[in-house]
Chains A and B, each alone.
Chain A
Amino acid sequence: MAIFVDENTKVVVQGLTGGQGKFHGLRNRDYGTKVVAGVTPGKGGQDVDGIPVFDTVAEAVAETGATAAFVAVPPKAAPAAILEAGSAGIGFIVCITEGIPAQDEARVYNTLVRDFPATRLLGPNCPGIISPGKCNIGITPSDIAQLPTPEGPNVGIVSRSGTLTYQALYELKQNGIGVSTCVGIGGDPVPGTSFVDCLAEFQKDSETHAMILFGEIGGSAEEEAAEFITATVTKPMSAYIAGVTAPPGRKMGHAGAIVSGGKGTAQGKMDALAAAGVHVGLNPTEAGDLMAGLLKDR
């Protein structure tokens, strides 16, 4: 098992003929992901290294049975691309695009919720998702993802930051711990998928035995995760929060990473998670080591 995507997921890459879409789309396929189609308006009928390209997502779905979309188009085009995938009946959309205006994100998110409630959006501005050995959608470097084992223990990873997601994968690989699924939810103010969404799935997933959460300053997603963990999560967890020393009022690289009006501080998030029984490390390595320790006691 894995969450959200597995060996049966069929992916259509929106923007497959562009630089990013082609590079990562082909890498995803090389990993073994079923990349069945590409979409670029006006380029239907062409192919990219044998992957057929269609004018619309609806055509791609009709012809190939695609179930997931990988949106790799620029910020101006991304909102329409996401909604097109939703209206074509795609169930899982990964959008890696960085730089989408927050107003567009809010509108797209709420449109999906209202008009296409069965569709889940991951991102924008995220590295994507990998279920090691089964499916990789996005830009996660797959060679640092340790395969899960049938007997376990396997860890589920959820993180806002891209490089820290990789860091988490790497720490587990160093410790020889398998990963069921690694989800990068992205650093924007309105992520389509939240920590809570991922933790709920990991909690249900029989192949996942523990979870690592990497958060950062800004918003209240970590505090909401802590509430959920207290109420629902029984699997062991470790966590790390970036941005303890971030100056207030400044966006730290990610559009959503900002402490404003004294809210969204790293310390507040660490305290909330610790109170929920999560083992909180002071740096990514410590969070990985804490997880290794938790699993040893298992």
Chain B
Amino acid sequence: MDLFEYQGKQYFSRFGIPVSPGGVAETVDEAVAQAEAAGYPVVVKAQVQVGGRGKAGGIKLANDSDEVRLHAGNILGMDIKGHLVERVWVERASDIDEEYYASFTLDRAAKQHLLMLSAQGGVEIEEVAAKDPDAIVRLHIDPVDGLSRDTARQAAVDARIPERAVDGVADILVKLYRCFVDGDCDLAEINPLILKPDGEVHALDAKVSLDGNAAFRHPEWEEYDKTEVLDDRERLAKEHDLQYIGLDGSVGIIANGAGLAMSTLDVVNQVGGNAANFLDIGGGANADVMAAALTVINHDENVRSIFVNIFGGITRGEEVAKGVVEGLRRVELRAPIVIRLDGTNAEEGRQIILDAGIPASKLISKPTMLEAAREAVRIANGGEGGA
């Protein structure tokens, strides 16, 4: 789960990482109030989870309340690369001497934590990596040992961060590492990490991505549910506890298993269609789960056909088939289903679907993934069902 900048900064604060005084606002009046509290001049920043806010006019300096009104009014409601700005973050403007970059991630290849640190911050780190790879210090950290202050300090020296900023940077690295580990982050990134004329080092931006698997030990994460960027369909799926990702196509997808669901999207694409979603209903495809899945897919008005792709493992084909038939009884669908049922007891399952006497305008059974995909795409692209 990706946090907004303001949430990331609040998360940083918990771990003692210094950020500029400021607050979040959803209206112009709130923005002015936050500015008065923070002290002028302030920066008004659009809260969207996409890069390039500044270029799009989503970050503005304001010297008084009139300017805050002007800028907050313009930025709130702005569309930045398809992201609607619902909130702004208003913080005291900082004098900047230098800009650095710091992040912690898990390096999956090394199976260790990775610190990336550079004295060249304020730009995309990928850009720095392409132009001047030596400007980035990459340090692996054994998760069992953790990061000591001495190691953090050495990394700052190695990154050619000037002497007067080294201790401040090392302090923040140690705190950011705690935030990354104890805060269960997939990514904890500060860009830019700034050095002020008075020698203070602090985080001017915050990029935090949380590991959803760790939610059970972070009850405080619940507040992020409210602001999570989900479309209507995704919100409905979440209510039903389904693994769903909304896409733009017209073929609704239901599959059991994440790998098979991904594979289903690919096959639909190969035969000239586009998936409306990713939906993994897991191993046990019972009637309740199937009905919930069909409800969510049915909510998507772009859907012209529904491809149910099931491989019976321990959940046998006949149980899956019963689930589909029962699910169909419970939900009145906007589009026909094309089902491919394979694996354990698939024959018996197909027979159950046949015996249910559902008309071919509503349910078509195909023996292989490829044939089913072709049929689903044919219908989605304007062909009649039941051919």
Interface flags for A140-160 (1: CB within 8 Å of B; 0: not) read 110110000000000000011
Closest CB-CB distance, B141 to chain A, in whole Å?
A: 10
Q: Specify which of A162, A170, A216, A285 is in contact with B262 (CB 8 Å cutoff).
A: A216
Closest CB-CB distance, A253 to chain B, in whole Å?
A: 3
Interface centre among A187, A243, A256 (most CB of B within 10 A): A243
Does B370 make an interface contact (CB < 8 A)? Answer: yes
Contacts of A217 in B (CB 8 A): 262
Contacts of B261 in A (CB 8 A): 252-253
A253 close to B112 (CB less than 8 A): no
B262 close to A243 (CB less than 8 A): yes
CA distance A285 to B370 in the complex (A): 9
CA distance A114 to B144 in the complex (A): 9
B369 close to A164 (CB less than 8 A): no
Interface centre among B143, B212, B256, B259 (most CB of A within 10 A): B259
Q: Which stretch, A9-17, A41-49, A51-59, A103-111, touches the partner chain B? A: A103-111
B259 close to A103 (CB less than 8 A): no
B186 close to A187 (CB less than 8 A): no
Does A284 make an interface contact (CB < 8 A)? Answer: yes
Contacts of B260 in A (CB 8 A): 161, 163-164, 167, 242
B144 close to A252 (CB less than 8 A): no
Residues from 108 to 160 in B contacting A, C-beta threshold 8 Å: 108-109, 111-113, 126, 142-144
Residues from 129 to 185 in A contacting B, C-beta threshold 8 Å: 139-141, 143-144, 159-167, 170
Q: Which stretch, A32-40, A60-68, A94-102, touches the partner chain B? A: A94-102
Contacts of A84 in B (CB 8 A): none
B213 close to A144 (CB less than 8 A): no
B184 close to A161 (CB less than 8 A): no
Q: Specify which of A102, A163, A216 is in contact with B313 (CB 8 Å cutoff).
A: A163
Given contacts A143-B344, A170-B343, A253-B262, contact A189 B106 (CB under 8 A): yes
Contacts of A253 in B (CB 8 A): 243, 257-259, 261-262, 278, 280
What is the chain A residue whose CB lies nearest that of B263? A242
B213 close to A163 (CB less than 8 A): no
CA distance A219 to B186 in the complex (A): 13
CA distance A57 to B4 in the complex (A): 44
CA distance A286 to B18 in the complex (A): 55
A164 close to B245 (CB less than 8 A): no
Contacts of B113 in A (CB 8 A): 106
Given contacts A189-B106, A219-B108, contact A245 B275 (CB under 8 A): yes
CA distance A128 to B17 in the complex (A): 42
Q: Specify which of B265, B278, B369 is in contact with A284 (CB 8 Å cutoff).
A: B369
B263 close to A164 (CB less than 8 A): yes
CA distance A143 to B313 in the complex (A): 9
CA distance A282 to B266 in the complex (A): 8
Does A190 make an interface contact (CB < 8 A)? Answer: yes
Does A236 make an interface contact (CB < 8 A)? Answer: no
Interface centre among B212, B255, B343, B368 (most CB of A within 10 A): B343
What is the chain B residue whose CB lies nearest that of A141? B313
A106 close to B111 (CB less than 8 A): yes
B259 close to A187 (CB less than 8 A): yes
SS class of chain A's interface: helix, strand, loop or mixed? loop
Does A198 make an interface contact (CB < 8 A)? Answer: no
Does B342 make an interface contact (CB < 8 A)? Answer: yes
Closest CB-CB distance, B59 to chain A, in whole Å?
A: 22
B143 close to A257 (CB less than 8 A): no
Q: Specify which of B245, B255, B256 is in contact with A250 (CB 8 Å cutoff).
A: B245
Does A206 make an interface contact (CB < 8 A)? Answer: no
CA distance A112 to B212 in the complex (A): 24
A164 close to B257 (CB less than 8 A): yes
A257 close to B258 (CB less than 8 A): yes
CA distance A253 to B255 in the complex (A): 11
B369 close to A285 (CB less than 8 A): yes
Given contacts A219-B109, A245-B265, A283-B266, contact A102 B213 (CB under 8 A): yes
Residues from 167 to 216 in B contacting A, C-beta threshold 8 Å: 181, 184, 186, 211-214, 216
A252 close to B256 (CB less than 8 A): no
B270 close to A282 (CB less than 8 A): yes
Q: Specify which of B245, B267, B311 is in contact with A163 (CB 8 Å cutoff).
A: B311
What is the chain A residue whose CB lies nearest that of B113? A106
Q: Specify which of B108, B216, B247 is in contact with A76 (CB 8 Å cutoff).
A: B216
A220 close to B108 (CB less than 8 A): yes
Contacts of B181 in A (CB 8 A): 103
B311 close to A167 (CB less than 8 A): yes
Does A247 make an interface contact (CB < 8 A)? Answer: yes
B213 close to A101 (CB less than 8 A): yes
Top 8 nearest A-B pairs (CB, nearest first) are: A161-B259, A253-B258, A163-B257, A101-B214, A164-B259, A163-B260, A242-B262, A219-B108
Q: List residues of B whose CB falls within 8 A of some A CB.
A: 106, 108-109, 111-113, 126, 142-144, 181, 184, 186, 211-214, 216-217, 243, 245, 247, 255-263, 265-270, 275, 278, 280, 283, 311-314, 342-344, 368-370
Please list 28 pairs of residues, one from A and one from B, whose beta carbons are closer than 8 Å in the complex, sorted by A's number. Answer: A101-B184, A106-B112, A111-B144, A141-B312, A160-B259, A161-B260, A163-B255, A163-B257, A163-B313, A166-B311, A167-B343, A170-B342, A218-B108, A242-B262, A242-B263, A244-B266, A245-B275, A246-B262, A252-B245, A253-B259, A253-B261, A253-B262, A253-B278, A255-B212, A255-B213, A256-B108, A257-B262, A283-B266
With A221-B108, A252-B262 already in contact, 5 other A-B pairs whose C-beta atoms are closer than 8 Å = A103-B211, A224-B109, A244-B266, A244-B269, A283-B369
